[in-house]
Structure 1
């Protein structure tokens, strides 16, 4: 099978990916960070009455001329409005958020007044008619769409939903992602290692990335390099009705790489398993019915690079979230040689110079097994296939891993 270009691989992985039609109803307090399953209409009008935008005095603008003395009739405060009309040549003390009394059309700010001893208020600066009043419904009106389907519920959206009087929210179900590490050599963190054994670290990084992208994660643990062990793990994934099965390692076609064999034996339609990229060439993609399968390489950096490029956008599509926005333009921090037929993703650092220009500096070591290099990296520097040699200062594209 020929090596597939990265862009084509991503297009095929995302083909048909869409949010689940299944929704759930969550309490408002639990909706933060989730995605709306349908439009949210206002259940009330805000403000429900004309309200003062300032502390001051409710007046008729025609009476509140400079030098006029208005008789203080009463007070209107938030939650305690004045329940009588404004009398002629009078004013009502009013506070921010309080209902504007009937007959008043303007709020005179208190800085432009003087309170006199005989119960009168002196107008020191005449206001413009209509000033400092928020009309009823100026924010939203009952029945209006306040939040559209697909909106990620950030702090502003949650606040608006509450203001519209929603105690519960219709939410898109999170995609379920099952993660299966494979290999006789793997042990969990904290376990004692025998000869030739290593820690299964990839699972935890991939799980963190998947949760951050909006998924619920099911850890299937570690499957030994046996078909019966892989079949048992697959049974568990199917029982949980997961949307995506992510396998780590064993997706190639070596004597001990049984993942592809186990999955095709259960009916998986294999789409591809070789990509023209470095690191991350042995990436497998296929479908087992409605279950999407993504087989990541076993090397830690290869696994994480592929997860950022393919798994993160797949989860975002299934969760109804916007596609990740990680790509930026930068300048190379040092010279790079010409590239071969595989698209390179070089781990590197990011720096901003005194002129505000963003520079990407490739790490000295790029071996795909080095997690210290990946953990320190702030970006992946993208080198297209057959890119010519590049000089320091030339423009490049980067995928930002962290600020």
Structure 2
């Protein structure tokens, strides 16, 4: 079956390529304590100034020995007891060994650590070993994890908990990070009312700015709220001008379609250079991007699901580019449909779905029964998209489809 509405529409990949080709990372950076660095983007490579571990140390509780002694001496004399943190001053001589604990420095002369379970203590203060011993085992060697001068983390990495621990283990207490991207958000429409207020006939509660603010905070942005702006050219002009003066990126939801009351494009054309696209995706057909006097602009559809999907697929890459973050391509997998799926070919479709694992280890996916772009509850229920290209028609149960799991941003 031929595509029903794809001709003349711009593909998601085309739009994203055009957008990202115009953006450059923001140059501002700051030094912050390591305790505040989780989720921030590194502004510069981090090199280690020491070896990790800094000295040979024991990988377990046991005895540090000279392997050559095990063929000559039945019993070895324990000449010292070494705990993690002890400074080593006494070497291991022929016929001797050291009681050693996990993490303790291996004394000079020892080349192997034998686990305590393989040792037998005698009444004479000596020890012998009951199992065959391989040389150079159970020792973490100096610099085997990281050598001094190694690049341990590269610029553009968004720091995670393990990264924070790694930096701390190298003695680093401050890092240079990119400054937070400042994002102004607003919702446009005369029908919108803020939560907590009484609804009048024809009005609905505004939720898009709440969703966007939560997502932006998770991305480490500074959020500037402009609330609800009515469909009025003068009000829109003032809001966009104020937002442009305060932000690196201005995001508006609603007002980017072709309705009679959608004045955003008219006002934005006066204030900057803004392109309006009709994208070959579903949900999320209307989308605007452009440049204002001091900032970039992204206009999202008004329907809540369309807002979330265009934000996830288009605005998130924009924000990461502005923040200097380097990320791999999105991870896509194949999963088996648990039920049939009906659709008309046309645009690339992001169907909300639940992915799970069957008893036999197969990745399975169940599309949600309702897929309307106004049904925000479906985004709360789903944990993945089913990706259906423009040529795909209805599919039977058991067929395999491509899925994209929600990451920590949407989950």
TM-score (norm 1): 0.89
Between 1:356-365 and 1:271-280, the stretch displaced more is 356-365
Offset of residue 166 of structure 1: 0.3
Residue aligned with 2:166, SS: helix
1:22 aligns with 2:28: yes
CA 1:313/1:101 → structure 2, altered by over 3 Å: closer, same or farther?
Answer: same
Aligned counterpart, 1:9: 15
2:315 pairs, out of 303, 311, 316, with: 311
CA 1:177/1:124 → structure 2, altered by over 3 Å: closer, same or farther?
Answer: same
| 8 Å Cα contact 1:301/1:369 also seen in 2 | yes
Aligned counterpart, 1:262: 267
1:211 pairs, out of 213, 217, 230, with: 217
CA 1:372/1:103 → structure 2, altered by over 3 Å: closer, same or farther?
Answer: closer
Instruction: Please give the alpha-carbon distance, in whole angstroms, between the structure 2 residues aligned to 1:125 and 1:331.
Output: 51
Alignment of 1:102-117 (within 5 A): 102-117=108-123
Residue aligned with 1:15, SS: helix
Aligned counterpart, 1:96: 102
Offset of residue 137 of structure 1: 2.0
Offset of residue 321 of structure 1: 4.1
Q: Number of aligned pairs?
A: 400
| 8 Å Cα contact 1:41/1:164 also seen in 2 | no
| 8 Å Cα contact 1:224/1:230 also seen in 2 | yes
1:183 pairs, out of 181, 189, 201, with: 189
Offset of residue 337 of structure 1: 4.2
Residue aligned with 1:273, SS: strand
Residue aligned with 2:49, SS: coil
Aligned counterpart, 1:294: 298
Between 1:12-21 and 1:139-148, the stretch displaced more is 12-21
CA 1:69/1:16 → structure 2, altered by over 3 Å: closer, same or farther?
Answer: same
Q: CA RMSD in A?
A: 2.7
1:285 pairs, out of 286, 289, 295, with: 289
Instruction: Please give the alpha-carbon distance, in whole angstroms, between the structure 2 residues aligned to 1:345 and 1:102.
Output: 63
Instruction: Please give the alpha-carbon distance, in whole angstroms, between the structure 2 residues aligned to 1:170 and 1:315.
Output: 19
- Where structure 2 has 5 or more consecutive residues not aligned to the other structure, the ranges are 1-6
Offset of residue 181 of structure 1: 0.7
Question: CA offsets per residue over residues 125-148 of structure 1, 9 Å max, x none?
Answer: 463333322222222232222222
1:144 aligns with 2:150: yes
Instruction: Please give the alpha-carbon distance, in whole angstroms, between the structure 2 residues aligned to 1:396 and 1:128.
Output: 51
1:55 aligns with 2:55: no
Alignment of 1:352-391 (within 5 A): 352-391=357-396
User: Runs ≥4 in structure 1, deviation > 6 angstroms?
Assistant: none
1:153 pairs, out of 156, 159, 180, with: 159
| 8 Å Cα contact 2:244/2:294 also seen in 1 | no
Aligned counterpart, 2:4: none
Offset of residue 257 of structure 1: 1.1
Between 1:388-397 and 1:313-322, the stretch displaced more is 388-397
| 8 Å Cα contact 2:245/2:294 also seen in 1 | no
CA 1:398/1:113 → structure 2, altered by over 3 Å: closer, same or farther?
Answer: closer
Between 1:200-209 and 1:307-316, the stretch displaced more is 307-316
Residue aligned with 1:117, SS: coil
| 8 Å Cα contact 1:210/1:315 also seen in 2 | no
Aligned counterpart, 2:402: 397
Instruction: Please give the alpha-carbon distance, in whole angstroms, between the structure 1 residues aligned to 2:138 and 2:352.
Output: 56
Instruction: Please give the alpha-carbon distance, in whole angstroms, between the structure 2 residues aligned to 1:389 and 1:111.
Output: 63
- Where structure 1 has 5 or more consecutive residues not aligned to the other structure, the ranges are none
1:322 aligns with 2:333: no
| 8 Å Cα contact 1:81/1:101 also seen in 2 | no
Offset of residue 356 of structure 1: 4.0
Instruction: Please give the alpha-carbon distance, in whole angstroms, between the structure 2 residues aligned to 1:62 and 1:29.
Output: 47
Offset of residue 247 of structure 1: 0.6
